[in-house]
Amino acid sequence: MNKANENLREEIIRMSGVNPKKCMRCGKCSATCPAFDEMEYHPHQFVNMVESGDIEPLLNSDSLYKCLSCFACIERCPRSVEPAKLVEAVRLSVIRRQGENHLTANDIPALIDDEMPQQAIVSAFRKYTK
């Protein structure tokens, strides 16, 4: 693992407060994820990729924006690994890069309709910065 990946890995672990080494790769987090079918990388894969330092594919993945931030994976994890916090930390790392925000505040009203769950709206607002 090169120095830049190691620094990014340490930053993500620090921001999330998660110890990815606790993961035993049981897959319960992914099994309970309501966005599983939409995600390229599933919660257990996020944890494994952060642990191994293979973060670049995560930074470029749409899976960051498919996560509903519902924390079902956190509730289901027998080892309290908290994959959703890692997803949020990786997303924040992308957002902190100048000009790489996935959504702007002005994009969100056009995406909302009467049938959209409130959870999705809150999740959308977490995915942009002012």
Give the Cβ contact number of residue 35 at 10 Å: 17
Is 3-102 a domain of CATH 1.10.240.10? no
Helix runs in 17-114, H state only: 28-32, 43-52, 56-59, 63-66, 72-76, 83-96, 108-111
The domain ranges of the chain are 3-102
Residue pLDDT tens, the chain, 130 long:
688 889 999 999 999 999 999 999 999 999 999 999 999 999 999 999 999 999 999 998 988 889 988 999 999 999 999 999 999 999 888 887 766 666 667 777 787 788 878 877 777 666 655 4
Measured between alpha carbons, how far is 18 from 89 in angstroms, rounded to an integer?
10
Residue 40, pLDDT score: 93
> Considering the entire predicted model, what is its pTM?
0.74
